[in-house]
Structure 1
């Protein structure tokens, strides 16, 4: 086994999106090769309805897939193809925009006025940029969960892990998307295909990913649970951890445990021409998409 080094640890940054939704962006609109095939990751967690109820009114997408995972509250969605529905707590929607779709997402808080969820953008290869749009709506009850002997709990949203296979399939990047909880003071390793780009996003508790790039695989000593262990400084809520090459990551949970998303995918390694919610391969294709928007031909007829 080769432990993946930690290339970067950074905090998600507060930003405004949609009609004024306050969220935190872990990455996006920067270097698209950094986490290829993934383009953007937003944490739309809020405890005040006035910070999210204006939502994300009608907007276009082309050339990408969007993955929405709701933990608290709900998100009503509808689109130009006539689809509509509601994502509740624990539900996932994987939307393949393909040749183009107009849709809106309007979040609603839970009984306490809270909203919590994530949206990840995955790129599409050139061969699939103009495929027909489609949805996969998955209820939380259909997402397999596995618990290890040490209390580690993993929800498998897509990909195969610990003998379970996630219900979302047919995705271009062939990703693995896991929701992981590791109990207090437990050290746990997770295998990741060597050829995938990978990152973790911490959203509850704290912990440290053991760094293979340090001289002895460690950076500093901490005392947890009465014993000294070699780990990095503990990272907490809204922290992105970007990994280098290897086939395993190891996390040391802090005193309250740690919950994080562990996401990996096969890089596409193609040119990216990107403007807002439209991602193509060339500037000419991007300009054509904008012309399609302006002249009313953005939505392509089904074949």
Structure 2
């Protein structure tokens, strides 16, 4: 049976690209690895953040919607995105940093075997720092963040659905997850090909369906090895009777999009060719990158997009 290999990225909505870039690079210490556009609407920014190489599994991305209303929170949505750090000491560091930067956050909590610190970005997106271990030691710092406290990769995503039977069977039977346990009413699922990849699913049948806006998550993307494997997934979903996007060339990777019965959008994305296909690593994210089919519209696109200015008020 096919099974996802790991996380690739998570994509969400922001109201303001400059404020978003300031938060994720200066407050969280991530790298803006690609400044590009929504390929289906090229007059909308699509910003990618991650480690310095933009490796799959480290990336969170944002579509800019300047007129987006506030998210009306509810069910049938991706309601928490987490980042992995090395230690509880790191969480203590981040809690103090969030205090200093006046970023909304919780106290350090526990869930299952994790310690976690919940917080929100400038659009109200629900996020958390999460740690299993307790490694220590400090080395160099960047943006005032010691290397040993920095974000390593994406962690579990939480789904809130009105009926878990519309989501859990899809994850288990079609994406290769195992439902290992339920903690405080939250189902914990692991990918059979990589048990470090978790999805948390909670049921809230009383909540209205989320009305997405700024700060809401559009989709979770899982990594597959290459285009041949993605084609296998496309054939599998077709044979299983699912509607899906088919294979889409996103220039930096190839993708396939599909929904479960709750309306949660999942993307399967290849691990390559990656962001250095059109930029050298030392200049990633510094200029507007466009896929070849949009290059002829570069002047028009650049005229309609406001410059992304990093360094404003957090």
What TM-score does the superposition give when structure 1 sets the normalisation length?
0.28
Greater relative CO, 1 or 2 (CA 8 Å, sep 6+): 2
Q: Which has the higher strand share?
A: 1
| Structure (1 or 2) with the greater helix fraction | 2
